[in-house]
Chains A and B, each alone.
Chain A
Amino acid sequence: METTSFLPLLIIFSSLLPGTLILMLREDQSALRTFLNLFGAVAKVGLIAWVFAGYLRGEEYGFILPLAPDLAFVLRVDQLGLFFASLSSVLWLVTTLYAIGYLEGGKHRRRFFAFFSFCVTAATGIALSGNVITFFIFYEFLTLSTYPLVVHSGTDKAVNAGRTYLWYTIGGGTILFLGVVALFVVAGPISFGQTEVIASLASVNPTQLTIIFFLMLTGLAVKAAIFPLHGWLPISMVAPAPVSALLHAVAVVKAGAFGIIRLVYDVYGIEVAEQLNLLTPLAVFAAFTIIYGSVRALFQDDFKKRLAFSTVSQLSYISLGVAITGVLSSAGAIVHLVHQGIMKITMFFAAGNVAETYGYKKISELDGIGRRMPLTMGVFTIAVFGMIGLPPVAGFISKWYLGLGAVEAGSYWVVLVLLGSSALNAAYFLPIVYRAWFCEPEHEAAPLRQIGRLETQALLLIPVIVTGILSLAAGVFAAMAGSPLSIAREIAEKLYLL
């Protein structure tokens, strides 16, 4: 086993501690709160970069805390985990900046930022979990820490959305729990990457393993918003924009998708999954969700709701990529974790900017908004092209690899799904772009906020530009070493060498 290191624990604490401290502050100590927030966010990015560098040098980091006989809390660093941790820490930093601007002068900011930090603690915890049980602990922690964020505004609508959110996630968590215990009883404690344990059992009790796989998959599919378990996602759109951004791009949905990746690649292993024929149902459901989400998105006039259904659709690309065996589709699935994250967060920031600056929440109100908010809508347009899959934006890379993978595996129907989805993406996103740039506004509304010389507040504008540039850069520089794609390819190639 690797040497014990407190670095992974430190990464967790870099947001857990600021969160706890913020909870103890008074509501009016906003300077100190902002400092703690940013300090934690920067420290987390720095620590993850440090660990990543160490990992590439060949060092191993692990932290083990035994909880009960055979039951240990394990944090371990591997490439896939670091990949996800980097994504969440960078996007957390950006979102923190955005949230500070967004919530300026709002109520209950202490509670908001504390649970915001807990939420990211859970996301990085999920990334660095070394075994199934640790993953489960953080997975449930994520549910609990996002609840106060969803109901943050305290309106009846928000509170009801919170209830729906909990029904789905606690229900999913319970099913996952059943699967986790059953797996523990059948196979003992399993660390991620120890696929040989299941492989040795696959011929002994295939039925049990199949049932356990689908129990766990169902639990994870709730957060990954796979049809028919996606219902919470569009409803929890009542949350403030930074929360939606975080839920959709970084934390909750990605926890589900990441969990599915772990389950298939690092617990069961691709060979066993194929041998027991576990992946076909996943592929079918994921493909259906892709089309279904896009079709539903077509009919939404609420800006954030349309984005939400788009998330339902886009997220299943990851599950679909996992369900098709082959290096290329695996790389496509893994890289889409990041690509979908940066593109979707850009879109939510943009939607939040429009809503905060001019109060427009409906797509039909967006006529001519591009001229008044050129930068915001400019990066939004980039993200739209990415979602549709136009080169050279990040989304193109994901779709290209998924398509190649499907052809390689002989699943030509997947290519059709991808093409159909692209057409639908264009059908529901391009009207927004068209309205923003080419339609004349009916009347010029005055901005709701003091915006100064910029098109909106700097703290709202900078994050969206940063993530917009990232989504372009991830596509343009995809071939370079250190790009998300190159890392995803490395991970995928390692998977198939084993």
Chain B
Amino acid sequence: MWWTRLKALIVKELLALLRDPKARLILVGPPLVQLLVFSYAATLDVTNIDLVVLDRDAGAASRELVQRLEGAPDFRSVVPVAGEAALAAAIDRQEAIAAISIGPTFSRDIAAGVPAKVQVILDGRRSNASQIVAGYISRIVQGLGAEIAVSGGRAPPPVDVVARNWFNPNLIYQWFMVPNLVASIALLIGLIVTALSIARERELGTFDQLMVSPLRTHEILIGKVIPPMLVGSVHLTLYVLAAVLVFGIPLRGSLGLLYGSALFYLLSVAGLGLFISALAATQQQAILGAFLLLVPATLLSGFATPIENMPEWLQPVTIVNPLRYFLIIVRGVFLKDLPVAEIAAQTLPLALIAAATLTAAAWLFRRRLE
């Protein structure tokens, strides 16, 4: 009996979603845009760098340095300039992100074995990119210095740092980003679909119809939570497939564990969505509410910036954010074989959040009836 009722509700929810052209658009559009934008366009790598060089030395060593800069794949252009004024202008007009000024005694100093100096001027307006460019340039300059030392028969620098990147040896940006997207897409879709479901019925006037039917309140809530979870897991699966098949990202951990924890993640997301839905009177309010939650949830999750970098007073806020825990799980399952104990440790808070949000939503839902 209860199963007949619940099944009818779940089927109806899915049909309402799939037969409404606007809802279909929500299911296809944003996920596709998100996948393309975040994995191709919104890259944090710094490439296509434009550089200007003021070479007042024009000796063998300075020519070698310029050639090495030109040869580096991330530098798009290395343009010589005639004087200080032209150098300043190039930075000022953002024609170049960095300028290298080589003093007149550069080659002579190197030949003489005296420490030679190169000045690098960076555009502080683009602080993040500048730092990365500075890193590239100093690596090239150091490489040149070391080789000259060796060929000159002098001792190489006493400490030689060799960096190896584990889990993502070539530091491919997409290996970092696409697993993140697996988590965030489930949040986006799960939240919007749940938030809209009750608000839509309120707007259409079908909500009363539902409430006078023998469906009990908890059945309605379950019937409202399961369809978004199903839809969310379909999106999650498609993203996992895209990660493996399109982006060639290694899947080193257990898929079963990933889905096991995803169940609790989706539950907690649906709980949040239901909470918004119970509050909102119209679909418009529900969408606004969902985005009001979505943006801070993404920013405070470690999606793009590590939580440890946030100010200490802000960090505790992230404890209630389900995305924070699921991000760790997804990244771990993809790039390293995250152990069961660690997955369980991250799933437990998800289960607690789910319990809290679903209880709150049910309470609010009942209260709105009076």
Are the chains A and B members of one assembly? no
Q: Which residues of A contact B (CB under 8 A)?
A: none
Q: Which residues of B contact A (CB under 8 A)?
A: none
